Amino acid sequence: MNRWLKDFSGLLFPNLCNACTLPLFQGERVICTKCLYDLPYTDYHLHGENRVAKQLWGRISLNAAMSMLYFRKGSKVQNLIHNLKYNQKTDVGVFLGELLGGRLLLNETYTDIDLIIPVPLHHKKLRKRG
Ligand SMILES: [Zn+2]
């Protein structure tokens, strides 16, 4: 009965992919399988001397820096990030965090890290976004 109600409500209010806005199939969460497959991974976690790390060299003390995805305006990555930042879709953040964690575990550099720190947010923007 519970599953029937869930399926029925899914017909009326389908969960949508946060990247392409198409309805999610059963078993998919946050983003559809096609978008997940097509995400533009940087693979910077595999290369210590990556573009992000080089931008921070000499400016702050850190062991490693990386970004998981390439970001382009109008892209599916932008849709994901905007849903997280401006539409209070916190499940997108959890999903991307799990995805990042899984990728970091593939490189010994990141297996004993204590913290992952996002780009700091100005307090005015935090208040505006909630
Ligand atoms: Zn999608």
Ion ligand 1 neighbours (CB, 5 A) are 17, 19-20, 32, 35
43: CA distance to ligand 1 center in Å? Answer: 21
28: CA distance to ligand 1 center in Å? Answer: 10
> Residue 94: beta bridge partners?
none
C-alpha distances in Å from residue 62, one per residue of 30, 40, 106, 119: 31, 25, 20, 13
125: CA distance to ligand 1 center in Å? Answer: 28
CB 68 within 8 A of CB 99: yes
Q: Identify which has the larger pLDDT, 85 or 76.
A: 76
> Is the model's pLDDT at 130 over the cut of 80?
no
Provide the pLDDT confidence category of residue 6 given band limits of 50, 70 and 90.
low
> Is the model's pLDDT at 1 over the cut of 70?
no
37: CA distance to ligand 1 center in Å? Answer: 9
65: CA distance to ligand 1 center in Å? Answer: 28
CB 87 within 8 A of CB 81: no
33: CA distance to ligand 1 center in Å? Answer: 7
C-alpha distances in Å from residue 128, one per residue of 84, 113, 122: 14, 31, 10
pTM exceeds cut of 0.85 = no
Tell me the per-residue pLDDT of 16-30, one tens digit each, with 9 for 90 and over: 999 999 999 999 999
Q: Identify which has the larger pLDDT, 111 or 31.
A: 31
- Measure the CA–CA gap between 103 and 121, rounded to whole angstroms: 24
Question: Alpha helices, DSSP H only, in the chain?
Answer: 2-12, 33-38, 51-56, 76-86, 90-104, 123-129
Phi then psi for residue 31, to 5 deg, are -135, 155
C-alpha distances in Å from residue 30, one per residue of 45, 46, 71, 75, 123: 23, 26, 18, 16, 27
Tell me the per-residue pLDDT of 95-127, one tens digit each, with 9 for 90 and over: 999 999 888 888 888 888 777 777 777 888 888
